[in-house]
Amino acid sequence: MARSDRRPTVPRAVFVVWGTPPKGRRSLVLGTDLGVEEVAYLADEWRPGLTSDPLKYPRYLWRTLRLLVSRRPRVVFVQSPPSPATWTAAIYGAMTGAQFVIDAHSDAFQRERWLRPRWLNRLVARRAAATLVTDPHWAARLERDGARAMVIPDIPTPRSHDPVPSTDQAESTFELLVVNTWSADEPLQEVVAAAAELPEVRFHVTGRRDGRVLQLGTVPANVRFTDFLSVAEYERLMASVHGVVCLTTRDHTMQRGACEALSLARPIVTSRWPLLESYFSAGTVHVDNTAAGIRDGVRTLMAHYGEYASAIGELRQRRWDEWLDRRSALIELVTDSADRASASRRLGGTS
């Protein structure tokens, strides 16, 4: 990257994630780049489903408070959803005067269970030093409720070197990675239908291979399900393909897989939504979430591949420069808030 990576960091900060590392990749990148001392994943990976474990969130609350009391951070970053994680950060802040920052993913605003009770979530957001969001749409909602919002669509990952590709991109077969998590908003059935009309293209589909594959019906021979991949395997595969397909049927939803593709300078095929068109404004084909739309988008990428490959590298640099400016503003905001809170407590005031 052209600009220097030397920068201030957030002192005495902890990042709390009530999830597993695969569900908190943005938090890890954000925390690392802000110089946060620890990104703590507090989920039980082996316990599936909210309803199967009614004591899960009380247990995470206890673990979070125990962690924070032992570390005594001045600043707590917390990933949302789930919303109870933000309530816990607010409790710690009220007890100690520490500041907290909510990193709110789009799901935090789109699923009803994370919105209830609304009065409590609004109160917590107003008490936060800031809530980080991926889209101005969510920032406007928070600001109407009296909360401070900062738009950070993505945290590009600078690399001294990119992962060594597992295959040669000069091979004749055009290869695509389809980022799939079996989420309801991913039009995977349409991707498979598009692949059937593109026999010259090989599609690698991520995600655990389980019974849901059978629900797709007949899968063409040019579609391969990778099953679970480690982070290193995932990045090597992404670096090896010609492009990355990352789709959603939901508006106002940032695509983490597309962000990872941008960091690796891999051309992208993603959905035609204003947020995604704005952020992935070059090196990207935006498509309708239909088999025909996906098929035609892949053909466009293939026909003009050199142009898209060059443009995505230029976009990565622009987005990195933008993030440096946002990072400085965020660190200044959080540090000033923590300093004011500390001064207020020393004077016997309230935080």
Q: pLDDT confidence of 166, banded at 50, 70, 90?
A: very low
pLDDT at 81: 95
Q: What is the mean pLDDT of the chain?
A: 90
Q: Where is average pLDDT lowest: 88-102, 165-179, 208-222?
A: 165-179
Which range among 168-172, 229-233, 258-262 has the greatest average pLDDT?
A: 258-262
Burial 221-241 (b: 16+ CB within 10 A, else e): ebbebbeebeeeebbbbbbbb
* Residue 348 backbone zone (phi > 0: left; psi -120 to 50: alpha; other: beta): left
Class of domain 13-152: alpha beta
Indicate where the chain has its CATH 3.40.50.2000 domain(s): 13-152, 174-314
pLDDT at 165: 47
- Write the DSSP symbol of residue 199: T
Checking if the pLDDT of 228 tops 50, the result is yes
Checking if the pLDDT of 280 tops 80, the result is yes
| pTM attached to this predicted model | 0.89
**Whole-number Cα distances in Å, 166 to 158, 171, 233, 289:** 20, 12, 9, 29
- The residue-averaged pLDDT of 185-203 equals 97
Instruction: Identify which of 64, 61, 89 has the alpha carbon closest to the alpha carbon of residue 75.
Output: 89
- The residue-averaged pLDDT of 87-111 equals 95
Class of domain 174-314: alpha beta
pLDDT at 9: 84
Q: pLDDT confidence of 46, banded at 50, 70, 90?
A: low
Checking if the pLDDT of 160 tops 60, the result is no
Checking if the pLDDT of 167 tops 50, the result is no
Question: CB of 195 within 8 A of CB of 223?
Answer: yes
Checking if the pLDDT of 256 tops 80, the result is yes
Question: CB of 74 within 8 A of CB of 338?
Answer: yes
Q: pLDDT confidence of 351, banded at 50, 70, 90?
A: very low
Instruction: Identify which of 57, 51, 112 has the alpha carbon closest to the alpha carbon of residue 86.
Output: 57
Residue with tokens 């039980």: 44
pLDDT at 274: 97
pLDDT at 50: 47
- The residue-averaged pLDDT of 324-333 equals 94
Checking if the pLDDT of 25 tops 60, the result is yes
* Residue 294 backbone zone (phi > 0: left; psi -120 to 50: alpha; other: beta): alpha
Task: Count CB atoms within 10 A of the CB of residue 326.
Answer: 15
Q: pLDDT confidence of 158, banded at 50, 70, 90?
A: low
The H or E element containing residue 229 is: none
pLDDT at 162: 55
Distance of alpha carbon 60 from alpha carbon 84, whole angstroms: 9
